[in-house]
Structure 1
């Protein structure tokens, strides 16, 4: 590894360390990530089993060994129809069984069950995220919610001669919007370009037509 690569890896490591120690994240593992479906179903099912054991038991009783496949089918059908944001908010209903894919922060801390379910969300940070079956491209960092990738970051470092503009070019030229991970409102909901002083954000990859919002951090 050359000096430039090392400095960029250090930037990655610093962000990862902060998310794990301060943000409630754990380190991601791509061993069970399905590149074709752009989801980690074992992690998602682990979350469901912990937060909705009765519903999942009924689901397995109904579908048996096909429960995981059926869950993904209904999940993806609703995502394709309504968008990921809607499905994260509302969950799905199948044969009268309602299943949620995440829990948002409760309005108060008075309901122990809601608090416990919110705390049970599995937040993962994965560096050098390999996402495609067609190539060996990786994204510097991906944040996932219960096995569902929702945020992606390309990191640059002025010390190595690059900045946020290089991140933006990378999103526009090196990432194919046809990849399942990049379909609009299908998986990744926010794409960030980040350097030591500036952040750029887009919600949809459209090659050269991709539109970014930039924010400068002057007191970094």
Structure 2
């Protein structure tokens, strides 16, 4: 990876409580947006340390509200100053100078990252963590069959040993990879034992429905290109991995419901409640329109002067309840309320 433009980062630079590699983050901002950063520092009284702490908190809130991918695409506004967190490759390049911002992205890979913020997870480390400008975007657990472990062991490690409520998993990384020399699987959200993994192999000759782990080692070697085999093409520029984030985001939506799908479900529930309220209001108005109803509550009034008082409380004689049978009246559902022979209505025997 380092030969392809990645930088090997230091685990000590990662701040678990912030979920950021602050050294790489502010190195990128200072190199790519010096004027914007100096303007932001003035809002913090000229104190650069205070500006870094304040911006880190603002960045954490923006990611929690809008999601990591949205923040990478649009940046963050702090005190009215817009700070970009990543530069994507332009689709149309007129000159080499247009790629200067794109080349300023800092892609770092950190081995054995101590990520835990909870005491119960102290000592847990991730084999590989990929950072984009100091923000963790992907993790990977690497397994070697020579030691008796494979991709299924990596999946089990994510499901049982990785707390999905940790900051790095809950609000930072977009993808978690389970890797061995032959197979790669990805999960876009950890959910304990319910964590779902999708195939992420390169050069697979089988459909995704084929159970590749159940194949023999020879068949597995023929089914996929080896995950760690170098690509036979020119080295990619630093930052080309950003295009893969769009694919990971698409897989995330297809694999399990995310914010958009959840918002649609909430809207459907709201619409159903509104329709129920409308039906209740229609029924209330129908009851209020009945002959003999008390204004304001829609209940039928009992007449003490009726010569034929009903034996059952709440019932009125058909003549008093329905008035003139020759005139049509309102209905509720399929039951007519204006005819003397309507079921459930009539004089007491």
| Mapped pair 1:49 → 2:30 | yes
Give the counterpart of 1:98 among 65, 69, 82: 82
**Other-structure match for 1:33:** 14
**Other-structure match for 1:3:** none
How many residues in Structure 1 have an aligned counterpart in Structure 2? 199
Structure 2: segments with no counterpart, 5+ residues: 205-223, 227-349
| Secondary structure in 1 matching 2:116 | coil
TM-score, structure 2 normalization: 0.55
Task: Compare 186-195 and 66-75 and name the one that shifted more.
Answer: 66-75
Distance change >3 Å, CA 113–CA 68, structure 1 → 2: farther
Larger Rg: 2
| Mapped pair 1:219 → 2:225 | yes
| Mapped pair 1:122 → 2:95 | no
Separation of aligned partners in 1, 2:98 and 2:198:
34
Give the counterpart of 1:72 among 44, 53, 56: 56
Q: Which has the higher strand share?
A: 1
**Other-structure match for 1:21:** 3
Give the counterpart of 1:191 among 176, 191, 200: 176
Task: Compare 170-179 and 36-45 and name the one that shifted more.
Answer: 36-45
Structure 1 runs (4+) deviating above 2 angstroms are 108-114, 214-220
TM-score, structure 1 normalization: 0.86
Give deviations 1:57-89, integer Å, cap 9, x for gaps: 101111132211121122111111111111111
Distance change >3 Å, CA 132–CA 122, structure 1 → 2: same
Task: Work out whether residues 11 and 111 of structure 2, in 8 Å CA contact, stay in contact via their aligned partners in 1.
Answer: no
Structure 1: segments with no counterpart, 5+ residues: 1-18
The CA RMSD over aligned residues, in Å, is 1.4
**Other-structure match for 1:142:** 129
Separation of aligned partners in 2, 1:111 and 1:99:
25
Separation of aligned partners in 1, 2:132 and 2:18:
15
Separation of aligned partners in 2, 1:91 and 1:42:
18
| Secondary structure in 2 matching 1:106 | coil
Separation of aligned partners in 2, 1:125 and 1:69:
24
**Other-structure match for 2:189:** 204
| Mapped pair 1:153 → 2:153 | no
Separation of aligned partners in 1, 2:102 and 2:12:
25
